[in-house]
Amino acid sequence: MAAADAIATELEAFYRRYIEAFNRQETVGFVDYFTHPYAVISGERGVTSVADEQSHRKSFERSMVTLRGRGWVRSGIDSIKAWSLADNLGMIVSDVTRYKADDSVLEKVRACYFLCRADASWKIATITEIRPPHRGPGDVPYP
């Protein structure tokens, strides 16, 4: 069990760095947190595959323009729950609040990430949003 706890701790630290990179809007650094290809899974659009780093950079830049256009300035982590699924495979369920410049809440988001360890680094392989009232894997209560 100690190995599982150590992996969960690694995953949580990884996720904190990932959100920091997201907040800095470091396109090149941000895409390094992902496998390529990686997948976004949505109840509305099904599976969207992002094939390579170049496509990912363009997609991230477009997403940031849209998010900033809605008033976003930063995201804060409300909760992280991480599980090891194997020595090189893990899952995270996180709650994030997106804030506007006046510190008002733009929106709250819960997401589930599957990660794999590649070249001694954790990488996001899939992302999916979890929408209330659904709690997602682990039946983690909302903060």
Q: What is the CATH number of the domain that holds 107?
A: 3.10.450.50
> At a CB cut-off of 8 Å and minimum separation 6, what does 4 contact?
83, 84
Q: Which tokens go with 12?
A: 């949580």
Contact assessment for residue 39 and residue 49, using Cβ atoms and an 8 Å cutoff? yes
Which band of pLDDT confidence, cut at 50, 70 and 90, is reported for residue 120?
A: confident
Q: What gap in Å lies between CA 29 and CA 34, rounded to an integer?
A: 10
Q: What is the DSSP letter of 141?
A: P
Mean per-residue pLDDT of the chain = 94
Which band of pLDDT confidence, cut at 50, 70 and 90, is reported for residue 108?
A: very high
Q: Which tokens go with 6?
A: 């150590």
pLDDT of residue 129: 95
Q: Which tokens go with 66?
A: 């849209």
Contact assessment for residue 40 and residue 56, using Cβ atoms and an 8 Å cutoff? no
Domains of the chain: total: 1
Total Cβ atoms within 10 A of residue 75: 18
Please report, to the nearest 10 degrees, the dihedral formed by the alpha carbons of residues 64, 61, 22, 98 taken in order. Answer: 10
pLDDT of residue 119: 81
Note down the domain range covering 24: 2-139
Collapsing DSSP states into helix, strand and coil, what is residue 120? coil
Contact assessment for residue 56 and residue 32, using Cβ atoms and an 8 Å cutoff? no
